[in-house]
């Protein structure tokens, strides 16, 4: 049986280290004993298996116990017998290169003399190698700690891919962010309800002549990181086509669960329907749109509203005010997505918590709800539904949209799914709009909104091409590394 490594820790500090403490913030609290024992066990097992990296980690753990004058380690030998090793702590190269400084007690023997070792390129090289080695070991330990915390390698890989993706689209993000915070045509954080995050942003066209069509937009974010500002690029580009956009914010998990998100979305839609005329919007030309998780929330909102209206309940807005519903890269049958999301890193336990347990999956699956025979009267009240989806989407497969559209058609609802070959979850919402020029999904969306307005369609035909925000090679790299 392998022996455990014993790491006694003293509160004393080396005198040389006290100088750094004079100009540095207080050190972080020590690791809990359980964390040290866990890391120690990992080291012992690795050494038993002759793991070189584990032996390096053993040295790092020994040197990190720098608060003691001595470190005693007990490691298993090849024949299974424990070998006790007693090591005196040594000054590292950076300590040797410090100028001569006396300690608090005035002892000369603990001074660090500058002439003990000459400053040379070789010492710099040793320092660089030391830093590189320590960085590698700490990174390895950090990743292992994440795995122990339940954050698996899928999340780690996704996180790294997200970092690369963010770098690739960063030039566009900066420009859109500047527009969002400084453009005078945006009315930010208008309060629509009394719950946390009950705010919305309005994107107003510069041309104020006549009432404008309105898009009430609910952003995505995996039900966890949704935020109204995510719709700023869409809001900017639609407002340039004389369309008002209202980006509705809502509570995310864990601040709220699906019922809260649904209530917030419905409250935001109600506000738009009843107040948009104050900002020049046409209350008879309101379109509802959602992207990703927002598409799911918006679809649930119209189904729930249809149920209320069919039951003659009192409501604050009506589906008759919604000209059409646009779903972009959404999922509409949650039963089919639980395992898919789990394999993608949104673990089953978390997702079911968001959806309030397995017993609530039917309620939050619009495709399943509309097939209930008791829903016949409610289904008749649904507005026309158009679902946009990229066939290269691996966050939510495009089958989610085609299946929902086919189900609605069988029930007599005017619905269609429009697919974009090879486009990923973010291509249709971020990369393509940042590319400039002509964007197929955007043109399809504007075409539906302006379908019965010949003057608007004439202006669309003469609209200048959109400006490119990100170089093409960076967008192609973003497409390649996108974790979505």
Positions marked active-site: 292, 393, 425
Nearest Cα neighbor of 200 from 217, 179, 184 is 217
Sequence-distant (6+) residues with CB within 8 A of 350 are: 253
Given phi > 0 = left and psi -120 to 50 = alpha, else beta, which region is 394?
A: alpha
* Structure token digits, residue 332: 């509409």
| Cα–Cα dist 84/86, whole Å | 7
Measured torsion, CA atoms of residues 203, 209, 211, 217, in degrees rounded to the nearest 10: -10
| Cα–Cα dist 44/82, whole Å | 11
Q: Which residues pair with 243 in a beta bridge?
A: none
Give whole-number Cα distances, 197 to 31, 264, 339, in Å: 37, 9, 30
Sequence-distant (6+) residues with CB within 8 A of 35 are: 145
| Contact between 248 and 268 (Cβ < 8 Å) | yes
| Degrees to nearest 5, angle at CA 312 with 332 and 216 | 45
* Structure token digits, residue 269: 């839609």
| Cα–Cα dist 202/188, whole Å | 6
| Cα–Cα dist 403/408, whole Å | 9
| Cα–Cα dist 96/115, whole Å | 9
Q: Specify burial of residue 114 (Cβ count, 10 A radius: 0-12, 13-18, 19+).
A: middle
């Amino acid at each position: 049986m392998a022996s455990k490594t014993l790491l006694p820790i003293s509160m004393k500090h080396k005198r040389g280290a006290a100088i750094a403490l004079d100009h540095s913030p207080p050190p972080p609290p020590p690791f809990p004993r359980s964390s040290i024992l866990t890391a120690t066990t990992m080291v012992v097992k690795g050494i038993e298996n002759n793991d070189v990296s584990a032996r390096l980690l053993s040295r790092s753990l020994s040197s990190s116990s720098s608060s003691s004058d001595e470190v005693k380690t007990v490691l298993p030998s090849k024949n299974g017998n424990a070998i006790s090793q007693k090591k005196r702590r040594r000054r590292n190269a950076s300590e040797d290169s410090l100028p001569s400084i006396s300690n608090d007690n005035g002892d000369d023997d603990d001074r660090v003399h500058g002439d003990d070792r000459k400053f040379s390129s070789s010492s710099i090289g040793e320092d660089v190698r030391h830093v590189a080695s320590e960085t590698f070991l700490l990174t390895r330990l950090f990743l292992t700690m994440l795995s122990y915390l339940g954050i698996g390698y899928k999340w780690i890989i996704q996180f790294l891919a997200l970092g690369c993706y963010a770098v690739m689209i960063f030039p566009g993000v900066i420009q859109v962010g500047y527009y969002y915070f400084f453009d005078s045509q945006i009315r930010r954080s208008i309060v629509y309800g009394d719950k946390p995050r009950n705010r919305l942003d309005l994107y107003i066209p510069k041309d104020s002549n006549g009432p404008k069509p309105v898009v009430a937009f609910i952003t995505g974010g995996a039900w966890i990181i949704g935020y109204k500002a995510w719709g700023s690029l869409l809001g900017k580009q639609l407002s340039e086509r004389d369309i008002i956009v209202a980006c509705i914010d809502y509570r995310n998990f864990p601040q709220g669960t699906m019922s809260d998100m649904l209530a917030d979305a419905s409250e935001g839609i109600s506000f738009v329907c009843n107040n948009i005329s104050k900002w020049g919007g046409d209350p008879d030309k309101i379109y509802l749109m959602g992207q990703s998780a927002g598409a799911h929330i918006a679809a649930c909102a119209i189904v729930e509203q249809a149920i209320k209206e069919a039951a003659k309940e009192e409501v604050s807005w009506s589906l008759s005010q919604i000209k059409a519903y646009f779903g972009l890269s959404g999922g509409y049958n949650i039963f089919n997505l639980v395992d898919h999301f789990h394999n993608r890193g949104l673990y089953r336990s978390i997702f079911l918590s968001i959806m309030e347990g397995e017993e609530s999956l039917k309620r939050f699956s619009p495709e399943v709800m509309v097939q209930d025979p008791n829903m016949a009267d409610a289904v008749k009240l649904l507005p026309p539904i158009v679902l946009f989806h990229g066939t290269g989407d691996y966050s939510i497969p495009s089958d989610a949209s085609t299946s929902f559209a086919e189900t609605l058609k069988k029930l007599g609802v005017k619905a269609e799914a429009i697919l974009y070959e090879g486009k990923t979850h973010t291509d249709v919402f971020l990369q393509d709009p940042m590319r400039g020029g002509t964007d197929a999904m955007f043109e399809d969306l504007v075409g539906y909104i302006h379908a019965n307005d010949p003057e608007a369609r004439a202006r669309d035909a003469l609209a200048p091409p959109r400006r490119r925000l990100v170089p093409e090679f960076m967008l192609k790299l973003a497409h390649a590394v996108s974790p979505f």
